């Protein structure tokens, strides 16, 4: 137990060291999914079907809900607008977690995968060690999840509005 607590503390320090504003340990039961999230991806997002980390390729909300029940803990990581490398940070934290004994560790960043100029949707991912689906791409209601954890998040009405990004690291 002590070992686990130490490993989580190290992960939190690493996240803040890479620019995260705050990290909270939450129960996966407090990560909320919604079928409507998928709808927003399908109707309204220009990225739909253009990346293997996005719908229709990423896990559906119902699948994500089941996946969440496989985990004991999660780190919800709040990034300010100034941090641009969230995908890399999250996958690095996942690896750190795995190596420290959380053999089921899995990370979900924010936004579409931007590792390649064009995603090789037909051929399969060329960088599977780094590509991970975003929380919203897996049908997670990021608004409700962040608010429930006491984090700020509002609808972004213009480019001048403050933006809050979140990554999720599932641990067990
Ligand atoms: S790493 Fe490249 S091929 Fe893989 S999901 Fe991301 S953009 Fe697509």
Delimit the domains of the chain by residue range: 2-171
The protein residue whose alpha carbon is closest to atom 4 in ligand 1 is 125
Reduce the DSSP state of residue 92 to 3 states and report it.
helix
Could you tell me the distance, in angstroms and rounded to a whole number, from the CA of residue 1 to the centre of ligand 1?
A: 37
Q: Which residues contact 93 (CB under 8 A, 6 or more apart)?
A: 11, 14, 15, 75, 77, 107, 167, 169
- How far away, in angstroms, is 78 Cα from ligand 1 center? 24
The ligand 1 atom nearest the CA atom of 126 = 3
Atom of ligand 1 nearest to the CA of 113: 6
- What average pLDDT does the segment 95-112 reach? 96
Closest CA to 169 of 58, 100, 54, 71: 71
Sheet (strand 164-171) strand order: 22-26, 73-80, 164-171, 106-108
Confidence of residue 154 (pLDDT cuts 50, 70, 90): confident
- Check residue 38 and give its pLDDT: 96
21 CB-near residues (< 8 Å, 6+ apart): 78, 79, 80
What pLDDT does 82 receive? 78
Q: Whose CA is nearest to atom 5 of ligand 1?
A: 52
- pLDDT value for 67: 98
- Is residue 2 predicted with pLDDT exceeding 70? no
Q: How does pLDDT run across 63-82, given as a tens digit for each residue?
A: 999 999 999 999 999 998 87
Decide if pLDDT at 1 tops 60: no
Q: What is the pLDDT of residue 75?
A: 98
Position 159 confidence tier, pLDDT thresholds 50, 70, 90: confident
- Reduce the DSSP state of residue 122 to 3 states and report it: coil
Could you tell me the pLDDT band of residue 162, with boundaries at 50, 70 and 90?
confident
Question: Ligand 1 in contact with 116 (CB < 6 A)?
Answer: yes
Instruction: Work out which ligand 1 atom sits closest to the CA atom of 127.
Output: 1
From CA 146, how far away is CA 154, in angstroms rounded?
10
| Ligand 1 pocket test target in 47, 48, 53, 121 with most atoms within 8 Å of CB | 53
Ligand 1, atom nearest to 130 Cα: 1
pTM here?
0.95
């Amino acid at each position: 137990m002590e070992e686990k607590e130490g490993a989580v503390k190290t992960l939190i320090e690493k996240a803040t060291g890479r620019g995260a504003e705050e990290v909270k340990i939450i129960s996966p039961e407090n990560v909320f999914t919604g079928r409507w999230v998928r709808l927003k991806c399908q109707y309204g997002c220009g990225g739909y079907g253009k990346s293997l980390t996005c719908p229709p390729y990423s896990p559906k909300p119902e699948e994500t809900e089941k996946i969440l029940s496989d985990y004991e803990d999660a780190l919800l990581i709040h990034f300010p607008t100034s941090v641009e490398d969230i995908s890399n940070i999250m996958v690095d934290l996942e690896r750190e977690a795995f190596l420290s004994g959380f053999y089921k560790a899995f990370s979900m960043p924010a936004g579409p995968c931007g590792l390649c100029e064009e995603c090789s949707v037909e051929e399969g991912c060329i960088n599977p060690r780094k590509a991970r689906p975003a929380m919203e791409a897996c049908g997670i209601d990021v608004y409700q999840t962040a608010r429930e954890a006491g984090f700020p998040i509002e609808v972004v009405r213009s480019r001048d509005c403050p933006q809050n990004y979140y990554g999720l690291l599932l641990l067990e």
